Structure 1
Amino acid sequence: MAEFVQTLIEKRADLWQAIGQHIWLSLVSLLIAMIIAIPIAIAVQKHKRIAELLNQFAGVLQTIPSLALLGLLIPIVGIGQVPAVIALVIYAIFPIYQNTFVGISSIDDSLEEAADAFGMTRFEKLRRVELPIAMPVILTGIRQAMVLIVGTATLAALIGSGGLGTFILLGISRNNNSMTLIGAIASALLAIAFSLLIQLLQRLRLRTILISIGVVLLAFLGISGFQTIQNSSQQIVIAGKMGSEPEILINMYKDLIKDDNPRADVVLKPDFGQTSFLFNALKSDQITIYPEFTGTVLQGLVKGKYDVQQMPATEIYDTAKHSLNNQFKMQYLKPMKYNNTYALVVKQSFANKYHLETISDLRRVESRLHAGFDLEFIDRPDGYKGIKQKYNLAFKYKSMDPDLRYEAINKGAVNIVDGYSTDSQIRQYHLVALKDDRNLFPVYQGAPLMKHKFAQDNPRVVSALNKLSGKISERQMQQMNYEVNVLKRSAASVAKNYLVKHRLIGGDR
């Protein structure tokens, strides 16, 4: 409990920012869904077949898994708030449409006939009779949609949209239960608050409800416009993948840029998402720079087939640099020293018991192995597929979230996992990374990636970031990850300490 309170106090500024982002995503999505669903439900009142088809279609849309929907939207509209809002609107349409249709179609026929007898037009009947009577049912659908949106919006953090999902994902990534609880509790309280607010609206008159919705809509459109104006200024947006290591690196990038030019406007977006999300964001100018690894470039980002296992580090980097420039007009700066490659990891006690030092040694215990691999490792040619082919090994495995696999091996649920050579959990849980004696895993050296035009227009930024070229050993990176994940130090302070200690920036920054 003490740790929870301490984390809450330390992260209160970030929490308020995440709550604001979550509210913005939720309200904008809800309002757009209402604007779409309510008029359609009203328009098809006299067309039962069309109404039923639309109802079934909206229901089918709601069954699409949220991650799959976000994945489908990314190639079309990019990353950030736009795909998140589209996905949330799709999920919210069904309950609003269904309740609006049911609410109006359930009105007593005698009331409809009385309205016709008074000579009311279609619009007058809708405004004076149908909507006031159906409003409690409609608001119930809106309340259901709102609760659904608030819960689903946590996944928006996976594509750089912010919100309370950042706390949940960061908590899982850092093995910090307090952060996970803060994000989950705040999200639940937000859903309850919105539900109570909509319930309160049910007691108001139709005109008051419509005015309230209009005021909220105008307010958020104004906020959106202000944000757009702000974001149009010259900013250097540096993003990172999920985890402590990318966050340390992007803080280093910021410190190096600011040390050279204190007036530079640098914005950090940590935990922005997976590789494809960041790469698409860079292509669409949603971000300016992010750290990428040489092996990842050749294995998944550029066109062409490369035998990276047989290529030395310098050749991998040179090939990646030229391919990025030729295919995407991107500039790949000089890489750091350490090789953050894949590794197969076991407990020290397990390795000692069966005398395991290399991956080839696993043949002696092949029948005893129960692995936990993330989905990307399972499907990669330099992952489990390569292990089967190059080492002639095949054993039972489970797919699991990358941030949970170390917890699984520590608790004995599995006895071998995939990892990275700089993971802090190797030290934290007394694990051993087996030697890749047949050179399956290629070299993964990190370097800043940006568009070629930005590099040409900002030579000082390039020069500042190139100070990391050839710096940071695997042991140093693992130590920094350990300080963030285990010792709970901020990525910003760990990054700054390294740069100051190695005289890459001045100590007064």
Structure 2
Amino acid sequence: MTELLNTIATQKSQIEQALWEHLSLSFWALVIAMLIAIPLAVLLKNSRHAGEIVLQLAGVMQTIPSLALLGLLIPLVGIGSVPALIALVVYGIMPIYQNTYSGLRSVDPNLEEAATAFGLSRWKKLTRLELPMALPVILSGIRISLVMIIGTATLAALIGAGGLGTYIMLGINQNNNAYLIIGAGLSALLALLMSALLKYVGASKKHLKQGIVVATLALVGFGGWRGWSSFQSKSEPIVIAGKLGSEPDILIHMYKDLIVNDDPHAKVELKANFGGTSFLFRALRNDQIDIYPEFTGTVLQSLVHDQRSTPHDPVKTYQRARRLLKQEYDLTYLKPMKYQNGYDLAVTADFAKEHQLTRLSDLAKINDQITAGFDPDFANQKDGYLGLKSAYSLNFNQVKTMEPALRYQAIAAGRVNLVDGYTTDPQVRQYHLKVLKDDQHFFPPYQGAPLMKASFAKKHPQVVKSLNKLASKITEKDMQEMNYQVTVQHRKASQVAHEYLVEHHLIKK
């Protein structure tokens, strides 16, 4: 509980922003779903065959796994809020359409005949008889849809759309229960509150009118605020994004501080925990962001077309990555920092002392005693365990695959005695682990550096100059310590980043 309260106190503004993003995305998804589903049900209420076909199609769309739907949308509309909104609308349509269609068709035929006998037009019959009688059922469908949308919106964080899902992902990634409680708890609370609000609105005609007035004012107010904000904005901000985790968060805050320190009038917008490598790279190429930190080994193995083996020399790795990024995508890759955030293997200090382990090559003599806990990717890729087996003659007794956040828990609990990780992981210090030296230089270099479009670099030479101050700065020990402060001690990434820059005379206080 203390950890949860500390997290809420130190990240109040970020939590409020995530909550607003989640609420805004869910609200607009519900509005659009209603504007599609209700008129469609009204149009098809007298055509049983066509109405049932549309109902079946809506049902089929809802059976598509949400992650698969997001993946299908990314090549068409990119990443961010747009594909998330489309996916949520797709999931929100069926309950509203189904209940509206069923409610309208369940109106007593005798009342329909009476309304016709009194000479009511189709429009008046719809507005005075059919919709009022079907309203409780329609509102029930809207409530179901809203709860479903709010729950599914947590996945928006996977494609850079923000929301409370960001805290859920961080909680899983960093093994932080406070983040999980914040993300999942606020999402559930939001769903309950919105459901209760809709129940109140549907309790009487008076409440319904009040709800319509409030919703209209909210739409007008939000539209006016967005329009005024766009009008007031005289210059486009520099948008800097980061991957999931504490380290990218620290780096993008460093980027912002460096830029603003050299140009106090610069407008910089940060998108922390924006998504994975492929999402960020696509966002950069689609001008949705301007800068993000990327690692040399990742560039050569995942982003460019390079069939050659990755050099073990960090300088050659960076030079090849920079050349291919420029050649294939017209991107500018600035000078890298000193530290490397590459793969490593770690054991407990006691296990290392017992078996005299200091290097990866020492593991071959105790193959039959090793129970490893590996990330699924690391366990099955050539630059991971599959390659290590050949390079170091390894054949461990047992290899368990598990989510990255669970590896360190497993070795701390004694369920495994060897884990893969990254050289700057704060858990190495937290659990007092011993990182084994890669004495045959199997793992490729992973140095981080700012990545941007060449056109952006040409247009903003001062930004390039500011960011290049980090070249050859920050050691592995420095970054591991900063990650520890953010992940374990729950300090703000902005404060940790600022303190480092001031301490090393890269910016003024």
TM band (smaller chain)? over 0.9
Per the alignment, do residues 348 and 127 of structure 1 end up closer, same or farther by CA in structure 2, a change over 3 Å counting? same
Find the counterpart in structure 2 of residue 131 from structure 1. Answer: 131
Partner letter of residue 237 of structure 2? Q
Per the alignment, do residues 125 and 430 of structure 1 end up closer, same or farther by CA in structure 2, a change over 3 Å counting? same
Find the counterpart in structure 1 of residue 27 from structure 2. Answer: 27
Count the aligned residue pairs: 506
**Distance in structure 2 (CA, Å) of the matches to 1:345 and 1:228:** 50
TM-score by length of 2: 0.92
Q: CA contact under 8 A between 2:312 and 2:441: conserved in structure 1?
A: no
The answer to whether structure 1 residue 377 and structure 2 residue 378 are counterparts is yes
Q: What pairs with 1:325-364 in structure 2 (closer than 5 Å)?
A: 325-364=326-365
Find the counterpart in structure 1 of residue 56 from structure 2. Answer: 56
Partner letter of residue 416 of structure 1? L
Per the alignment, do residues 414 and 54 of structure 1 end up closer, same or farther by CA in structure 2, a change over 3 Å counting? farther
Give 3-state SS (helix, strand or coil) of 2:52's partner. Answer: helix
The answer to whether structure 1 residue 498 and structure 2 residue 500 are counterparts is yes
Q: CA contact under 8 A between 1:348 and 1:431: conserved in structure 2?
A: yes
Deviation of 1:454 after TM superposition, in Å, equals 1.0
**Distance in structure 2 (CA, Å) of the matches to 1:6 and 1:440:** 41
Which ranges of structure 2 fall in alignment gaps of 5 or more residues?
none
The answer to whether structure 1 residue 4 and structure 2 residue 4 are counterparts is yes
The answer to whether structure 1 residue 423 and structure 2 residue 425 are counterparts is yes
TM-score by length of 1: 0.92
2:306 to 290, 304, 307: 304
Deviation of 1:473 after TM superposition, in Å, equals 1.2
Find the counterpart in structure 2 of residue 96 from structure 1. Answer: 96
2:476 to 466, 474, 477: 474
Per the alignment, do residues 134 and 378 of structure 1 end up closer, same or farther by CA in structure 2, a change over 3 Å counting? farther
Per the alignment, do residues 289 and 408 of structure 1 end up closer, same or farther by CA in structure 2, a change over 3 Å counting? same
Deviation of 1:407 after TM superposition, in Å, equals 2.2
**Distance in structure 2 (CA, Å) of the matches to 1:465 and 1:255:** 10
Moved more, 298-307 or 405-414: 405-414
Per the alignment, do residues 25 and 227 of structure 1 end up closer, same or farther by CA in structure 2, a change over 3 Å counting? farther
The CA RMSD over aligned residues, in Å, is 2.4
Deviation of 1:56 after TM superposition, in Å, equals 2.8
Partner letter of residue 81 of structure 1? S
Find the counterpart in structure 2 of residue 258 from structure 1. Answer: 260
Per the alignment, do residues 362 and 49 of structure 1 end up closer, same or farther by CA in structure 2, a change over 3 Å counting? farther
**Distance in structure 1 (CA, Å) of the matches to 2:232 and 2:418:** 48
Find the counterpart in structure 2 of residue 270 from structure 1. Answer: 272
**Distance in structure 2 (CA, Å) of the matches to 1:490 and 1:208:** 41
Find the counterpart in structure 1 of residue 238 from structure 2. Answer: 236
Deviation of 1:333 after TM superposition, in Å, equals 0.3
Moved more, 262-271 or 61-70: 61-70
**Distance in structure 2 (CA, Å) of the matches to 1:502 and 1:212:** 52
Report sequence identity in percent. 54
Q: CA contact under 8 A between 1:343 and 1:420: conserved in structure 2?
A: yes
Give 3-state SS (helix, strand or coil) of 1:419's partner. Answer: strand
Moved more, 343-352 or 475-484: 343-352
Give 3-state SS (helix, strand or coil) of 1:331's partner. Answer: strand
Which ranges of structure 1 fall in alignment gaps of 5 or more residues?
none
Q: CA contact under 8 A between 2:11 and 2:492: conserved in structure 1?
A: no
**Distance in structure 2 (CA, Å) of the matches to 1:85 and 1:37:** 15
Q: What pairs with 1:40-439 in structure 2 (closer than 5 Å)?
A: 40-205=40-205, 213-226=215-228, 229=231, 233-308=235-310, 310-391=311-392, 393=394, 396-439=398-441
Deviation of 1:207 after TM superposition, in Å, equals 6.3
Deviation of 1:160 after TM superposition, in Å, equals 2.2
**Distance in structure 1 (CA, Å) of the matches to 2:371 and 2:86:** 40
Moved more, 293-302 or 17-26: 17-26
Give 3-state SS (helix, strand or coil) of 1:238's partner. Answer: strand
**Distance in structure 1 (CA, Å) of the matches to 2:148 and 2:176:** 26
**Distance in structure 2 (CA, Å) of the matches to 1:364 and 1:177:** 38
Q: CA contact under 8 A between 2:7 and 2:490: conserved in structure 1?
A: no
Deviation of 1:391 after TM superposition, in Å, equals 4.0
Per the alignment, do residues 353 and 342 of structure 1 end up closer, same or farther by CA in structure 2, a change over 3 Å counting? same
**Distance in structure 2 (CA, Å) of the matches to 1:381 and 1:147:** 43
Per the alignment, do residues 72 and 223 of structure 1 end up closer, same or farther by CA in structure 2, a change over 3 Å counting? farther
Deviation of 1:330 after TM superposition, in Å, equals 0.8
Moved more, 328-337 or 37-46: 37-46
Give 3-state SS (helix, strand or coil) of 2:404's partner. Answer: coil
Partner letter of residue 148 of structure 1? M
**Distance in structure 2 (CA, Å) of the matches to 1:80 and 1:150:** 17
Q: CA contact under 8 A between 1:74 and 1:83: conserved in structure 2?
A: yes
Q: CA contact under 8 A between 2:424 and 2:479: conserved in structure 1?
A: yes
